[in-house]
Amino acid sequence: MNIINLLGVFFSVVLLLSQQVIADDANVEYKVKAGYLYNFTKFITWPEDRNETFNLCIVGEDPFGTLIDPIEQRTAFGRPIKLFRTNSLNKKQHCHILFLNGSIKDKLLIKGMLVIDDTPTSLTVGESEGFAAQGGMIGFVNRLGKIKLQINLKALQQSGLKISAKLLEVAELIDGKNND
């Protein structure tokens, strides 16, 4: 085998390994985000409702895949957590936590509350750039390979949700757009 063939094999192996590292990074990122979504149930208080389940909805393309499925083995406020993956919500669907991946357009945000089919939802969480600044409640941002939180306190207050000071301590507070 000559040196050119050897270099070709070497670079092919390096390319394959780097793709695996990127895939592993994405898995870690979405495991962290799934953990945050669950832990929001411990640090945010929702108004009482009569739903039998605590609903977490993923709107748009699901970036979690099976990584988030174990959340349905947990409970929140004494109710089982139910996971919904959808491209739109119907009027009967109530989402306590609504996750919008980066492919969902920010034009859906109205006064800090997301409205789909005229149904207001509770906690809006997104990962698109500037999500919290554009009216979303909690935005995931990647800072030097670490997932951080940006919280739009104004949007949270307008929604009637109560957030723990402990969660605020680990987040960057964002001034959202004034939608009045």
- Ordered by start, the domain boundaries in the chain are 28-173
pLDDT tens string 107-131: 454 444 455 544 556 899 999 888 9
pLDDT tens string 76-104: 999 999 999 987 766 667 899 999 887 65
pLDDT at residue 152 is higher than 90: yes
28-173 placed in CATH 3.40.50: yes
pLDDT value at residue 44: 94
| Top-confidence residue, 158 or 120 | 158
CA neighbor of 158 nearest in space, from 178, 128, 133: 178
Q: What is the spatial distance between Cα 41 and Cα 20, in angstroms, rounded to a whole number?
A: 32
Separation in Å, CA 26 to CA 45, 67, 98, 142, 171: 30, 11, 21, 11, 22
- The reported pTM is 0.78
Sign for the pseudo-dihedral over CA of 148, 30, 92, 40: negative
pLDDT value at residue 3: 55
Q: Which helix (H) or strand (E) holds 23?
A: helix 3-43
Cα angle value 62/134/147 (rounded, 5°): 50
Helices (H), 44-169: 153-159, 165-169
Phi, psi at 25, each rounded to 5°: -60, -40
Residue whose token pair is 């962290």: 32
Tell me the mean pLDDT in the region 8-28.
Answer: 47
pLDDT value at residue 102: 73
For residues 52 and 140, the answer to whether their CB atoms sit within 8 Å is no
